[in-house]
Structures are given as structure tokens and as C-alpha cells.
Amino acid sequence: MPTNFSLNGKIVSAKSAGDTPLLWVIRDELGLNGTKFGCGIGQCGACTVHVNGAPVRSCQTPLSTVEGKKVATVESLSTNNSHPLQKAWIAHEVPQCGYCQSGQLMSAAALLTSKQNPTDAEIQEAMDGNLCRCGTYNRIRAAIKTAATEMRNQA
């Protein structure tokens, strides 16, 4: 039986087995490749997506648990890099290899949904589970602060 949920604002019907990790449904069945496979055990954060607004590790989220829910991937931010986080990421030259960036962006987006002016400690806590092999953590923190400022100014 198909699993129906909203993916980036569109209702989709996934035919994969209910115990299939959401990551593979998003990538292989639904064709969105922004969400990355990193470790497969939920510890690196590369596969982070939002389910009903909360960041989750899609490699550890069974498809059956998203029935009727709203799932958002990095593609939901914007298709032309116009989201404040994407602009800040570019301005601060955050990505090096770039592999972890979709998960970093989705964790940052969840943070800025709940905290309009996050402190360094709040940024650290929100981003703690997202690993960056290139070590651009200072740039990530600066980009989040820049995006937060832009988002407050837009409000």
C-alpha cells in the first residue's frame, strides 16, 4: 500500500516498503538528490530533512512514519539560492567539499524557524549533530547569524 505525504509542498505517493529509510525514498523513488547519504546511522547529519518542521535524520526515518506528514528537503529552501541561508552560505564561503551542506542548511533552517536571533550556544546546540569534514564550523555559525539578521529585517 502506498505511503502518502507532502514533499516540499506537493502530495506524493511512495510505493516503497514502510520500513524503507525515507532517505532512499526521497533519492531513489522520488528523484530528489539534494539530501545526502553520509553515515547511514544518523550521526553525521548529511541526510537531515524536516518532518512537520522538525529536523530528522532521513537515513533512520522509516517511510511509514511520514504518512500524512509534511516533509521538506533542501530543495524546499529555494531553487535559485535566494533563501537567506543559501545567500549567507555563499557570502561566507561555507562549502568546501559541500557534501554535508544540505544537512547543515536544513538544521540551520529549523533553528531559525524557532530562534530569530540565536546565540552562539543555541547555534552550537542546533548544529551539534551535523559533521563537516572540512571544518567550516566558524563560517557556518557566521552564515547562520547573517541569515538570521536578513530574516529579521524581512519580517
Q: What residues does 3 pair with on adjacent strands?
A: 14
> What is the rounded average pLDDT for all residues in the chain?
97
- Counting residues of the chain whose pLDDT is more than 70, the rounded percentage is 100
Is residue 37 a contact partner of residue 102, using CB atoms and an 8 Å limit?
no
pLDDT at 123 over 90: yes
Q: What is the pLDDT of residues 48-57, one digit of tens each?
A: 999 999 999 9
The H or E element containing residue 137 is: helix 137-154
pLDDT at 155 over 90: no
Cell digits of residue 43: 550521526
CA distance 143 to 148: 8
For residues 112-123, average pLDDT: 97
Model confidence at 88, in pLDDT bands (50, 70, 90)?
very high
* pTM for this prediction: 0.95
